[in-house]
Amino acid sequence: MQKKSIRDIEWAGKRALVRVDFNVPMEDGAVSNDRRIREAVPTIWHLCEGGASVVLMSHLGRPKGRDESLSLAPVAKRLSEILGKPVHFVRECIGEEAEQASSSLKAGEILLLENLRFHPEEEANDPGFAAALAKHGDRYVNDAFGTAHRAHASTEGVARLLPGVAGFLIEKELHYLGGALSQPERPFVALLGGAKVKDKIAVIENLLPKVDRLLIGGGMMFTFLKAKGYGIGRSLLDEERLDFARSLVDDPKILLPVDCVVASEISDEAAASVVLADAIPHDQIGLDIGPKSVEAFANEIKGAGTVVWNGPVGVFEKKPFQAGTLGVLQAMAECKGTTILGGGDTAAAAEQFEFEDQMSHISTGGGASLEFMEGRELPGIAALKDK
């Protein structure tokens, strides 16, 4: 990794201002999934054990101004339970009360600031707001990969004011995602799913020269099937991207589904059937890849040295359309190479079917991992100190 990390700094007597990604699901005022909190623990422990006092900051949800239902207080409670030590919490992220709380911390103590997005200045990357946040630390650590593609006050602004380094989570994300793009073990296979072609155009353009095989599933596959001249019934179609799909359908690296699961509606009770990809009935919607496609995809994945997967291959949230995503997860688990999942829905599928421990790496950032795979520079990482 070309960026400095927390390993490269002496922490004794320093205040570490750490951007974490604690944007976690909440239910009835409590954290319902703590994966993102747990991902930050190695960095927090390293700083504490190195003699730093640790000031954590994060956003939660999309509040419009102050919204008590999106307070980070329950997150502080859950983090304290995970660490087995107190986590102080202050109901503001800037100003006198917050500064008092951060400046009175002793070595090894932890403070979590209130939701950054209670202030619109956070997303606006307001210099004054970044300066107010910077008062909480001597050194800055970014460990929030999920927001690294956003130039916000807490991700990019603060890194201009304090010496900034990467935490262990960002280091891990760059190791796996960066390694896959620059020095993959071969064969290098990428699987792209999800709904829309337009969301994946830049990823396809960046990956196609690098991969040995590009598998296409999910809602976006129907635009490619249409580009081959097939009827796709009532399936999702990105009409504006048809020419783009036509320019790629005959590329020998690209593998499209040969069959798919169709139904007349998207529901748990839908009567689903398997049809060939070139024979989708006009009144049906394609909602998953079929068993022959699962087998073909699985063969490519199992033999791969590196696999990157972003976007489910079907509407896995509904029972009749789970088999494709489940089959791909099974193949990923059996692959002896490096298996990397993009965040978002792909990570959610791995969790739902309990495959998360069988992958080499699951990214904590859906949008960030997508932009990284597009070959774009992420502002929150670009702002950190080079080695």
Instruction: Kindly name the residue from 3, 14, 19, 36 that is annotated as catalytic.
Output: 36
| pLDDT value for 202 | 87
Q: Which residues pair with 259 in a beta bridge?
A: 276
| pLDDT value for 1 | 55
63-79 mean pLDDT: 96
- pLDDT tier, 366 (very low <50, low <70, confident <90, very high otherwise): confident
Residue-wise pLDDT for 17-47, tens only, equals 999 999 999 999 999 999 899 999 999 999 9
> With the C-alpha atoms ordered 249, 250, 256, 262, is the resulting torsion angle positive or negative?
positive
Residue 259 makes CB contacts below 8 A (sequence gap 6+) with 274, 275, 276, 277, 289, 290, 291, 292, 293
Instruction: Kindly name the residue from 210, 234, 367, 376 that is annotated as catalytic.
Output: 367
* pLDDT over 90 percentage in the chain: 91
- What does the alpha-carbon distance between residue 98 and residue 132 come to, in Å, rounded to a whole number? 10
pLDDT higher than threshold 80 for residue 380 = yes
Instruction: Kindly name the residue from 167, 342, 344, 380 that is annotated as catalytic.
Output: 344
| pLDDT value for 131 | 98
DSSP category for residue 5: B
Residue-wise pLDDT for 166-212, tens only, equals 999 999 999 999 999 999 999 999 999 988 788 888 899 999 999 99
| pLDDT value for 367 | 84
Instruction: Kindly name the residue from 66, 78, 85, 196 that is annotated as catalytic.
Output: 196
Average pLDDT score over the chain: 95
Nearest CA among 102, 98, 77 for reference residue 87: 77
pLDDT higher than threshold 90 for residue 365 = no
Q: CA–CA distance from 74 to each of 48, 117, 161, 306, 371 (Å)?
A: 22, 16, 30, 38, 31
* pLDDT over 70 percentage in the chain: 100
Say whether 196 is catalytic.
yes
Token digits for 250?
């005959």
Residue-wise pLDDT for 322-345, tens only, equals 999 999 999 999 999 999 998 789
Say whether 150 is catalytic.
no
| pLDDT value for 196 | 77
- pLDDT tier, 229 (very low <50, low <70, confident <90, very high otherwise): very high
